Structure 1
Amino acid sequence: MVNWYTADTHFGHENVIGFCDRPFRDAGHMDTVLIENLWSKVGPDDDLWIVGDFAFGPKAKEATYLNGIFGQLPGARKHLIVGNHDLEPTLQLPWDSISHLVEVRDGPHGQSHTLCHYPMITWNYARRQSLQFFGHVHNNWRGSRNSVNVGVDVWDFMPVRFEDIARRAKSLPVNKHWADVEHNAKEPTP
């Protein structure tokens, strides 16, 4: 079993293509590529974590459309971390879990990492090399040393594993406010 993470899929959302410079002809093309990319990575026994903004736009209000997209998602279990664009019809889908913030054990040491749609400066276990995974900001910011954007816009429209996220975290700068919120903490190292 592997945990796969992604955010800001915005299934069905025509306008996100222009807003974020996504390389798709239209929302149908985008939906197809995102689903294909999920299937290329997520195995039948894996968990898929959508870290907010599953779908948006007029189609996100249509139960038939949403059920059709949801039914194409790979993995044994599907989890939603609620984002600002996750409307009631999305919340009615048969997710295995729905939360605004959750801690997930992952990585070689089985450490708890925090998932929230919004970037954070600190969280539980932040002083103990715990990472935070977020979305929301699309292609505007990749994150900081211990808080990493898992959105499709900064991962070539693919889901990612903990190992991918930890590797990227090492290349990111320390959040300039880390010392403001964690006065006596060491500099974060993933």
Structure 2
Amino acid sequence: MPVTWFTADSHFHHAGMMSERMHSRRSFPSVEAMNEHLIANWNAVVGRGDTVWHLGDFAWKASLAQAQDVFRRLHGRKFLIRGNHDKVGERLPWDAPVRDVAQIHVQDPGMAEPVALWLSHYAHRSWPRQHKGTLHLYGHSHGALPPTGTSLDVGVDAWDLAPVALPQILARLAEAAAREGDAS
């Protein structure tokens, strides 16, 4: 059965992601090694029939040919939520038009009911249907923003450089909610 995955901020071909001044904690001998690691991690979890929502900044500092080469090697049906570095990424053959935000419902195998999600490249303090249980997934912060009980960063730098599935997301949200409850 197909599974839905989420990720952001892969920044394929962006050598600057390995710099100490970046939010990222990527340590690779070359941009090619970083790219290969990210591709291998993606394909280790994502099946060919799975769906992947990439929440922005797919590739940066890449030519269209370089981005296409990476894109064609990645498993899954791929959808893009536009990030601030997606000038090249927007030109790839995504499975639907590129959007700024999306409100979706996911019900993967084993889930009793669908989960409502608000997807954006950026973290929001509020979002549509937030008070009706809609959860918010975002990128851009490279793991620098702590999760809350209802929103978190799904970028590769927050998830061991790989896409993440909803059960792991829900577990991390529940941990954040428990911490919030302990603090009150």
Offset of 1:12 from its aligned partner? Answer: 0.2
Aligned pair partner of 2:27 in 16, 23, 26: 23
Q: Which residue in 2 is equivalent to 1:41?
A: 45
Offset of 1:63 from its aligned partner? Answer: 1.7
Contact 1:142 1:154 in 2 (8 A): no
Q: Which residue in 2 is equivalent to 1:73?
A: 74
- Give the 3-state SS of the residue equivalent to 2:11 in structure 1: coil
Q: Which residue in 2 is equivalent to 1:3?
A: 4
Q: Which residue in 2 is equivalent to 1:147?
A: 151
Q: Which residue in 1 is equivalent to 2:65?
A: 64
Q: Which residue in 2 is equivalent to 1:50?
A: 54
TM-score by length of 1: 0.85
Tell me the percent identity.
Answer: 33
Unpaired runs of 5+ in structure 2? none
Offset of 1:173 from its aligned partner? Answer: 5.4
Aligned length: 171
Q: Which residue in 2 is equivalent to 1:180?
A: none
Offset of 1:124 from its aligned partner? Answer: 2.0
- Give the 3-state SS of the residue equivalent to 2:43 in structure 1: helix
CA RMSD of aligned residues (A): 1.7
Offset of 1:106 from its aligned partner? Answer: 1.3
Q: Which residue in 2 is equivalent to 1:166?
A: 170
- Give the 3-state SS of the residue equivalent to 1:99 in structure 2: coil
Q: Which residue in 2 is equivalent to 1:86?
A: 86
Offset of 1:162 from its aligned partner? Answer: 0.9
Render the CA deviation track for 1:53-88: whole Å, top value 9, x for unaligned.
00112x2xx12111101111101x11000000111x
TM-score by length of 2: 0.87
Which one-letter code corresponds to 2:174 in the other structure? Answer: K
In structure 2, how many angstroms separate the alpha carbons of the residues matched to 1:15 and 1:111? 35
Which one-letter code corresponds to 1:86 in the other structure? Answer: D
Unpaired runs of 5+ in structure 1? 177-186
Offset of 1:128 from its aligned partner? Answer: 2.2
